Structure 1
């Protein structure tokens, strides 16, 4: 065999064989195995008395003779077995054995674990290979069910002797009460469990009738005629180009559900994107929401396959999630099915769902909640309340529990009809929760006024503070990033904002000058009012000093460098897609969540050593900037330069062309391993040629 490193062009075809598929015996071709019998001791020369089959169960039974004249046959044991089975009068019509000794045995089949549909019987003749698929693979083993007849006969003989000679006519029949039961209507779940039970399956197996077979010896004329059906008939000639390559491969090796079931289950906290892409869109959305609990719409689109319309995603999203502060939270009934219970306290799923729905409603009214207030309403154990809060919020010092993500004004401004529909659903949900949890009417107004969430189109209400200190000094009130005064917030949020201001202001100017705010840092909602970005570890003031800007640029460069040094070639669209996936994996409030444009990503590529290629494009492809890493500091850098320069004049290259170009350009002789390594780093194989990554046309 040639080396695995060789291309298809260096691996010529030595010989071709025509393959024919015969289906004449496909429904009746069994492969019989005899695991308890030596290979040399076949049943070809042994008399077969009877044979029968159950086609549905693929079960076979064969009665074959036993050589009673063999020196290895124990005559006394054989006579004893026949006596126990048939009794003293062994020549009657109901006798199992035809003589006074054990002169036959029964072979019964058992199924194997192999899937017979993946195997075939082949015959090679005249340069042609004829294949016939197997219907079943079974193993034949001796059966000893006839010994049960001996036990039944013994019990029947002992029964009359133990009655003590009493006549049944001398006894009156005992009166027994009769209980009448009426069968209830069977549910679908109960019916499915009953049909999957062992008793039901055993009953179905016993109901199938045996079909008698006629045995023909391997040397008989009938056996020879049947073997001829293993050859495929000469039908009409078919063109070898009727199937595409992918369809032909799928026909040769079809996917089976059983193989998927045999794969080991992944951990519950791990989600495979490869398996995710094989699911329908609704299941993909449901799986992502179940794992993430809370997600932005932009993050969800980045995790789904490219080309899916946003309207289709929203249609599935509204079935499995609800809108909270512009973000999507998985529904409670998805996380806690009816039959589930709390892992901490054993509380039923119904009570857990009510408590979780109330927590989500509270977050539609305010940024912060406290566990004490929640527990007083939902009446759940402390561990369950904490578990619910940890799914969709994070704890804040002096604030309680804050919703996990900032308000997604981008989604609410773009999909106003969905926001309005979700608002109406939450109003109806709260009315139901108020009755179920017995919430007082004044409770709703109390928490709405405490810490409101500013929705698009709503203006914050200003609340005056009577401060003798501010009125006496006459100093101007300090302002936050959004332009609101500190008095516009609740007392709990005010403490956190004051603490942030004290950490960032200069001690000498803390009471003399107002805080400077850059216009680039202000974000506006639909009606033009400023919006506060909630506190988080990564919500830094980018215009405050050069340190934060440097950290932001360094974070972008680290991401770009890691992708460029592992992929070597990346297009602008691919880099954007990778960044969206990276951002979805970052914790809430990450420094990159403020937004990174394509121009910033391109600048970062150039700073970390990448170059923009002036490559040729194949026909019918969409052109875009492509960046590559030309130098890594090893001995193959000249060969990398030659390879990338080659694509300035041609969109594809062969292995031999690349080796020759390196020899002519820099005098290097590449080994098979180095050639393959460089081509795989920078190119994608298309037949016998290689094309630059990102330029391969979509077939």
Structure 2
């Protein structure tokens, strides 16, 4: 259906909103017009014919409709109306593009009229004449001052935008058909006059084409868009050195100096890299962490909570300072000082650390002793900067004076090979000069009840005695060199015994890597067989880069010693029939209230290869005096066992079916 021959009653426009409405007549005598439907619609909208002065329709039928404009969504500035005449192209820019569609606002009017005629529910449309309105108390409320964030949300809401649209008044228009003389004269305005001088186009066709599309030295291929978290090294090396360092630090957040040199072009001056590095990063445990003001510029805000950049920088600087004092931090301690929302604290911690079971958040990399020993002057300068930074943070965050002593040296970041548990600390001695003993989880014995203290003391003595038997002083120093194929060769010192090849391989760095791997697996699996531990190590080794320190291989003996060092034990359990027996390692204590129940659970497998849930609960109550809840029982059994029918069997001992 076209509207060229339709009678137009009126037209109106809202210039600001670029909205147009046209009221056009409907041919009620057309054979395609349903009279019964038209009469029903008019009755619903206006009621009985002639009963109201503000009737929408002028007869007892629906005799007109309204066409309203809808935005096409396209940016009109990209388009122009063009007319080609006498070899010339005349262009007229467009300010808006709309599409006219029928409006059904009369249906809303019909619904409103029905509600008005029926009246409130339950009174039949009639109200009692004698009923008086009850007197109700009036509460006076004072409007609170609206924040900038609340104002922005209110102005972006649908109610606000709809109200603003309704406030603009309609301006009447005079409609002219496309075939009228007025329409023809308006179309003539689209042609440019002959007398207009257009100096920009006084060019020869070849010159104009050259100006429009200049030739390039070489054709540039369209590069595919890269993910936001991927950095192109090809594009990176086109930047100046300072921008390369800044970009790498911004993407990596934390990086070792050796890793940074590997990513930069070969032959780059290390001194120039260090000079740029100190401008965009700070030193934490021998590694470089990007500065907070680079990640959070002044105009930036948190995407989670809208916190300003100043608060985010102070909070992140405090987290980095804590990592200069300790290998581990807890989110609760951090949040109590920085006063940031939980989402922001978690995001900051995830940038420079990873979570460890029963330890909190551990710094991303191990201590880089190679850098600190080579560049001691930079390390000393960074230490002085951190001392000054902490003094500033203490004033801004209102940190108590005793706060630094509380966390400093609690879990100091040490180079690989140094053992913090053998250091003597005055703060851990009592008034009688005796040393405070700590459990394997790092908690003091004073944190436990009297019933648990004797058991934990005995476990600590046994564990220290075991370490003294398994740990031997290193008599061989080793030097690692990386081959062209990415493998690592270990060359023993000529002054040492050449028969001790195992000690050559097991340097302090090497042992620390193995211990960290074993600790991670035991803290997440609790029980693991020797073959499973070997398989997990092979998977871990496959994910390591070429030339990794673990590429020389790890013996079963070293894995077993590492299990003992992290507090694990080898179980003397019963095996199911027709099952291959092999060592089973478990973590019996993690430092919480269920350690005694864990001991009962593991001891139960020394007499049988399967246990019953009810019998386990009863044994814990009889031996430890602890009444386990259903949740604790389920947690313990799932950590150490796997269900087989109605019984529970130790992980790693279930026969294959």
Which TM bucket (shorter chain)? 0.3 to 0.5
Higher relative contact order (CA 8 A, sep 6+): 1
TM-score by length of structure 1 reads: 0.45
TM-score by length of structure 2 reads: 0.48
